[in-house]
Amino acid sequence: MRISDLGEFGLIKRLKDILGSTSIGDDCAHVRLGEYNLLLTTDLMLEGVHFLRRYPPESVGWKSLSVNVSDVVGNGGEPRWALVSLMLPDMEVSYVERLYIGIKRACEFYGCDVVGGNVAKSDRLGIDLFLVGTSDRPVGRRGAKPGDSLFVSGTLGDSRAGLELLLMEREDYEDFELALIERHLRPTARIDYVKHIQKYANASMDISDGLVADAGHLSERSGVRIDIDSSRLPLSKELIRFCEKYEKDPKDYALYGGEDYQLLFTHPRERWNPFMDMSEIGEVSEGKGVFVDGKPAEGGYRHF
Amino acid sequence: MRISDLGEFGLIKRLKDILGSTSIGDDCAHVRLGEYNLLLTTDLMLEGVHFLRRYPPESVGWKSLSVNVSDVVGNGGEPRWALVSLMLPDMEVSYVERLYIGIKRACEFYGCDVVGGNVAKSDRLGIDLFLVGTSDRPVGRRGAKPGDSLFVSGTLGDSRAGLELLLMEREDYEDFELALIERHLRPTARIDYVKHIQKYANASMDISDGLVADAGHLSERSGVRIDIDSSRLPLSKELIRFCEKYEKDPKDYALYGGEDYQLLFTHPRERWNPFMDMSEIGEVSEGKGVFVDGKPAEGGYRHF
């Protein structure tokens, strides 16, 4: 049997069985050291798969740290120490330096440090980043409770629209289009939510695969049903203009578009904080599966 | 300027300058969390660069963990938690499972756990491993003191000879040749030395680039001169037979061959422990550079 027959999640399940591990399944691994909780995560960006050579290298560096910070923040943790493992073809040194400038800026923004790494020759450029975080109260995907409301931070679908615009390779873009492209190239992990997640969330994760897919992970790990009300999805004005211009449905982008790196979390409704950009988009109840407007989302129509 | 003009170590120096880091330079990063010392390390194995597809996948898995454990042990630490980042082309699932069986066996041997990881599509197979260790007393490359003796564990040069045998792609090998090949494919990190290193070593590291090259790193970071006495290099009987058969000089293999994953460390002579397989091969004094039998090793004749 080949990997393509089994799929990514099927493969991961088999590898977990070999290791006999029960802890694998969240974005971060959680281990304890004395009274400390460590969160460990890794995410890889490969040229041609996750980014293209023509993207600004600073944005690639920024994003490679941000996607890892997003995993730690999604678990209610603060990012602390990163290792950078570079796979490098023989290329311009200035490219690698600009990549590192992006990583450095992201470190300053998120308040963490690159403490080491590795450089290996490769025929394809890749950045594998490893991040250690700490948390007073790690929050995984498992704790969603019937009666909780479902929340997301920020707006959804922008990154997918930005990617589609990027792939058009046009000479000129309108300002709102550049804003969407920026959200794809330089996503910002929601480090401003760490305290809220630590304090109030029963379950939490970042949205990297798309809302419906990630709600599916949350539902499965928590053993609950999740209902999403599509009329309450937070949409940016840029995404709405994009969808008007290209005759698309913004709900498709918000439900299925990936790489927004917003947070998806559950807690009682009364913990909603009006000073943060969080939206209540649904609820958690007994049962299983993800439903959009009352209809099962699995196996349903997917735009992409 | 291209990376090939600058070299690996030149590139790493530039990237360190961008990060403004002073801690990068040992095999492991050392950070403190409360009263705990954490050692963080990463090492990558890419198909075609570090291993070939025809190697037994269990040995590739074993080695990918072992080289990281070796970094932690070389710093006087115990391996604790690993993340495995896999880059996978579409291939047989059984290959990936056998790779994981090798990782699992290595975890059991070294007493650590794989707690998470990542899987990404790639056109080339790769295993990037991240390891977190802990140590009561981390030992880096910086502490070698004039007056210390220089020690190595085990025997040197076997892995290089094993690699050369492997690349011959013969149908039949003699038993001593298979033993050398095994030492290349399945190196064992010297976890049995952790307590000795923690207790007595002033400076310590594992030998991955070859004795002379790694002694150079130790000399530079500690600001000392290192003298190696080539008549005292520990040679296995298998390496000696190999060199007789193929008319090679075993000293070249012991001085310059890489990937033995033995330990190189310094402490006063009286700390020598006769119950361990450590050999005193030289001494540390004031000055700089690495000398073999009194002659400067840098820029000298290199066999490979």
Choose, out of B19, B96, B134, the residue to mutate when testing the contact with A (most A CBs < 10 Å): B19
Which tokens hold the place of A19?
Answer: 């290791």
Closest chain A residue by Cα to residue B11: A93
Looking at the predicted structure, is the pLDDT value of residue A302 above 80? no
Residue whose token pair is 């990558």: B44
Helix crossing, A57-74 with A93-110: angle to 10°? 30
pLDDT of residue A304: 43
- The identity of residue A172, as a single letter, is D
Partners of A94 on chain B (C-beta within 8 Å) are 1
Confidence of residue A12 (pLDDT cuts 50, 70, 90): confident
Three-state DSSP class for residue A30? strand
Q: Which helix (H) or strand (E) holds A265?
A: strand A262-267
By C-alpha distance, which of A192, A213, A217, A223 is closest to A204?
A217
Nearest CA among B203, B251, B213, B197 for reference residue B229: B251
Distance from CA of B177 to the nearest CA of A (A): 29
Per-position b or e across A39-54, b if 16+ CB within 10 A of its CB: bbbbbbbbbeebbeee
* B118-158 confidence digits (pLDDT tens): 888 898 999 999 999 999 999 999 999 999 999 999 999 99
On chain B, the residues whose CB falls within 8 A of the CB of A1 are 92-94
Of all residues in chain A, the one with the smallest CA distance to B82 is A40
For residue B283, the model assigns a pLDDT of 98
Evaluate if residue A300 carries a pLDDT over 60.
no
Q: Is A132 helix (H, G, I), strand (E, B) or coil?
A: strand
pTM for this prediction: 0.92
CB atoms A24 and B116 under 8 Å: yes
What's the CA gap between B26 and B44, in Å, rounded?
16
Task: Give the DSSP H or E segment for A177.
Answer: helix A175-185
Q: What three-state secondary structure class fits A102?
A: helix
DSSP code for A14: H
Cα separations in angstroms, A104 against A56, A98, A110, A132, B69: 15, 10, 10, 16, 28
For residue A83, the chain B residues in CB contact (below 8 A) are 29, 40-42, 130
Report the chain B residue with the minimal C-alpha distance to residue A45.
Answer: B120
Q: Single out the residue of A33, A130, A140, A30 nearest to residue A80, CA to CA.
A: A130
pLDDT of residue A266: 98
CA distance A290 to chain B (A): 25
CB spacing of A130 vs B83 below 8 angstroms:
yes
* Stretch A198-213: mean pLDDT: 96
What's the CA gap between A137 and A199, in Å, rounded? 8
**Which pLDDT value is given to residue A244?**
98
**Residues of chain B under the 70 pLDDT cut:** 21-25, 298-304
At residue A26, the pLDDT reads 72
Compute the average pLDDT of residues A36-61.
95
- Look at the alpha carbons of A250, A256, A258, A262 in this order and tell me if their dihedral is positive or negative: positive
Q: How far is CA B134 from the centre of its chain?
A: 18
Range among A118-127, A174-183, B22-31 with highest mean pLDDT value: A174-183
Nearest to A122 among B46, B92, B119 (CB): B46
**A2:B49 CB<8 A:** no
Helix axes A93-110, B8-19, angle to 10 degrees: 30
The confidence score (pLDDT) of residue A19 equals: 83
How many CA atoms lie less than 13 Å away from B37 in the CB half-sphere? 17
Domains of chain B and any CATH numbers:
3-134 (3.30.1330.10), 149-296 (3.90.650.10)
Question: Mind spelling out the 3-state secondary structure of B50-109?
Answer: CECCCCCHHHHHHHHHHHHHHHHHHCCCEEEEEEEEEEECCCEHHHHHHHHHHHHHHHHH
- Answer yes or no: do A118 and B44 touch at CB < 8 A: yes
Nearest CB neighbour to A116, from listed B3, B29, B104: B29
- Taking the CA of residue A103 and the nearest CA in chain B, the distance in Å comes to 9
- Mean predicted confidence (pLDDT) in A5-32: 81
pLDDT at residue B290 in the model: 96
Nearest to B8 among A40, A49, A119 (CB): A119
Rounded to whole angstroms, the Cα distance separating A261 from A193 reads: 12
Listed in sequence order, the residues at least 6 apart from B67 whose beta carbon sits closer than 8 Å to its beta carbon are B43, B45, B129, B187, B189, B208, B261
Q: What pLDDT is stored for residue B301 in this prediction?
A: 41
- Give the type of residue at A209: D
If DSSP states are collapsed to H, E and C, what string results for chain B?
A: CEHHHHCHHHHHHHHHHHHCCCCECECCEEEEECCEEEEEEEEEEEECCCECCCCCHHHHHHHHHHHHHHHHHHCCCEEEEEEEEEEECCCEHHHHHHHHHHHHHHHHHHCCEEEEEEEEECCCCEEEEEEEEECCCCCCCCCCCCCCEEEEECCCCHHHHHHHHHHCCCCCCCHHHHHHHHHHHCCCCCHHHHHHHHHHCCEEEECCCCHHHHHHHHHHHHCCEEEECHHHCCCCHHHHHHHHHHCCCHHHHHHHCCCCCCEEEEECHHHCCCCCCEEEEEEEECCCEEEECCEECCCCCCCC
